[in-house]
């Protein structure tokens, strides 16, 4: 082997080790979130594995190994003298807070759970088709709920809609707002909290999401102005609304063009279409930046794959660049697509007339 090849191979091995660490770190954090270990540490402060295990009624040996591992991947402090683990304030912001700007509980749950139906994914490579919504554990949907909570509470209504007065004026005045592919309802719910003169109608194909959306709206005190209903994009428009929205829906749909047409048909004459999807480049291979691997991973493990499971086109997470938005919107009869600058690594936002 030449020296140069040996050096390059050695360098790649360094990356392999880093990637192993990343995979283990994700799993350690998912365990800490799912079992309430981070919340416990945030509540009680520095603790030994024995103290955590007693409070949570878990097996101490498991907790101890988790503490060591989670410390080594950089998410827990550990004091060798007292054998106590603790969380920094920054770690509390990231791992314990919910719905705040830095909260990442949902992302850890999402990544961990989207990778669980592994045999089904491998079979799809060989036989076609994909993985169905029902094949994922409920943790995936809880992860989506939590990421939605953060995105809509700490970005959509605190920053993004402020950039779109044509939308906020209507919402302030009081209009009918339809949220297609609403998931667990977080977008409608946060808008309802901020603009209570309007009425919100959320639609989603997955019944457990609709059930959770109803519960979320009760918990947030806006159930009187939020209504959620099971709906499949292929069934066409469920009514007529002043503002129609699709948050993170279109690229997931088996047939995105059909979905945009249904949304267009659900819009009143002078209505507006608010479209949020995944920020991406024209050619998938040109995507760069820290969220790029996540986007392709999410595509393979969920977005593309669930679309293909339903005989869909498998657009994929990075399949809706601006030109594709314009093409699908023009085909559906929309006239004007305006991109709103939100400077976000994951999402893009459009107002369409
Ligand atoms: C990535 S999630 C986004 C959920 C929510 N809008 C959010 O941002 O948190 C995509 C949603 O689209 C829904 N969906 C997928 N295919 C659909 C279809 N054919 N008709 C209606 N909803 C669909 C899924 O059930 C899921 O809740």
Segment 320-332 mean pLDDT: 98
Question: 103 pLDDT exceeds 90?
Answer: yes
224 to each of 148, 197, 221, how far by Cα in Å? 21, 11, 8
Name the percent of the chain lying above pLDDT 70. Answer: 100
The class that CATH gives domain 109-352 is: alpha beta
Nearest atom in ligand 1 to the alpha carbon of residue 209 is 27
Band the pLDDT of 160: cuts 50, 70, 90: very high
The residues, any chain, with a CB within 8 Å of residue 203's CB and separated by 6 or more, are 178, 179, 180, 181, 182, 228, 229, 230, 231, 238
The answer, yes or no, to whether any atom of ligand 1 lies below 6 A from the CB of 143, is no
CATH 1.10.10.10 fits 3-94, yes or no: yes
Would you state the pLDDT for residue 275? 98
Gap from CA of 19 to ligand 1 centroid (Å): 30
Beta strands 267-278 and 199-204 are unpaired
Would you state the pLDDT for residue 53? 98
Would you state the pLDDT for residue 344? 93
The answer, yes or no, to whether any atom of ligand 1 lies below 6 A from the CB of 245, is no
The answer, yes or no, to whether any atom of ligand 1 lies below 6 A from the CB of 248, is yes
pLDDT tens track for 115-155? 999 999 999 999 999 999 999 999 999 999 999 999 999 99
The answer, yes or no, to whether any atom of ligand 1 lies below 6 A from the CB of 209, is yes
Question: 350 pLDDT exceeds 90?
Answer: yes
Q: Which of 249, 298, 302 to mutate to test the pocket of ligand 1 (most atoms within 8 A of CB)?
A: 249
Domain positions in the chain are 3-94, 109-352
Nearest atom in ligand 1 to the alpha carbon of residue 144 is 9
Segment 306-335 mean pLDDT: 97
Band the pLDDT of 1: cuts 50, 70, 90: confident
Gap from CA of 148 to ligand 1 centroid (Å): 12
pLDDT tens track for 193-245? 999 999 999 999 999 999 999 999 999 999 999 999 999 999 999 999 999 99
The answer, yes or no, to whether any atom of ligand 1 lies below 6 A from the CB of 63, is no
Please, what's the b/e burial string for 199-231 (b: 16 or more CB within 10 A of its CB; e: otherwise)?
Answer: bbbbbbbbeebbebbbebbeebebbebbbbeeb
What is the rounded radius of gyration, in angstroms, for the C-alpha atoms of the chain?
22
The answer, yes or no, to whether any atom of ligand 1 lies below 6 A from the CB of 275, is no
What is the average pLDDT score of the chain? 97
Q: Are 121 and 131 in contact (CB under 8 A)?
A: yes
Residue nearest to atom 27 of ligand 1 (CA): 183
Q: Which of 107, 154, 181 to mutate to test the pocket of ligand 1 (most atoms within 8 A of CB)?
A: 181
Segment 171-188 mean pLDDT: 98
Segment 317-343 mean pLDDT: 97
Segment 15-24 mean pLDDT: 97
Question: 18 pLDDT exceeds 90?
Answer: yes
């Amino acid at each position: 082997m030449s020296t140069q090849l040996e050096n390059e191979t050695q360098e790649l091995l360094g990356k392999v080790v880093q990637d192993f660490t990343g995979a283990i770190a994700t799993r350690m954090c998912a365990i800490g979130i799912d079992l309430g270990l981070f919340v416990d540490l945030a509540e009680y402060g520095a603790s030994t594995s024995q103290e955590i295990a007693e409070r949570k009624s878990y097996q101490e040996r498991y907790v101890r190994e988790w503490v060591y591992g989670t410390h080594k991947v950089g998410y827990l402090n550990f004091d060798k003298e007292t054998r106590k683990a603790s969380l920094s304030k920054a770690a509390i912001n990231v791992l314990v807070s919910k719905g705040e700007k830095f909260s990442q509980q949902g992302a850890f749950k999402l990544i961990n759970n989207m990778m669980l139906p592994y045999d089904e994914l491998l079979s799809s490579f060989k036989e076609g088709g994909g993985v169905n919504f029902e094949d994922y554990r409920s943790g995936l949907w809880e992860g989506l709920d939590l990421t939605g909570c953060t995105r809509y509470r700490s970005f959509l209504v605190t920053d993004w809609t402020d950039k779109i007065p044509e939308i906020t004026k209507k919402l302030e005045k009081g209009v009918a707002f339809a949220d297609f592919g609403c998931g667990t309802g977080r977008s409608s719910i946060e808008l309802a909290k901020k603009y209570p003169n309007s009425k919100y109608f959320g639609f989603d194909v997955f019944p457990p999401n609709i059930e959770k959306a109803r519960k979320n709206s009760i918990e947030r005190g806006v159930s009187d102005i939020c209504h959620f209903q099971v709906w499949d994009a292929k069934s066409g428009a469920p009514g007529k609304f002043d503002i129609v929205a699709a948050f993170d829906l279109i690229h997931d749909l088996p047939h995105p063009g059909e979905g945009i047409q249904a949304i267009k048909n659900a819009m009143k004459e002078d209505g507006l279409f608010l479209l949020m999807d995944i920020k991406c480049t024209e050619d998938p291979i040109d995507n760069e930046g820290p969220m790029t691997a996540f986007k392709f991973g999410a595509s393979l493990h969920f977005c593309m794959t669930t679309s293909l499971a339903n005989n869909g086109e498998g657009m994929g997470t990075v399949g809706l660049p601006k030109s594709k938005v314009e093409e699908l919107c023009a085909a559906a009869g929309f006239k004007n697509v305006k991109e709103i600058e939100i400077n976000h690594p994951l999402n893009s936002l459009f107002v369409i007339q």
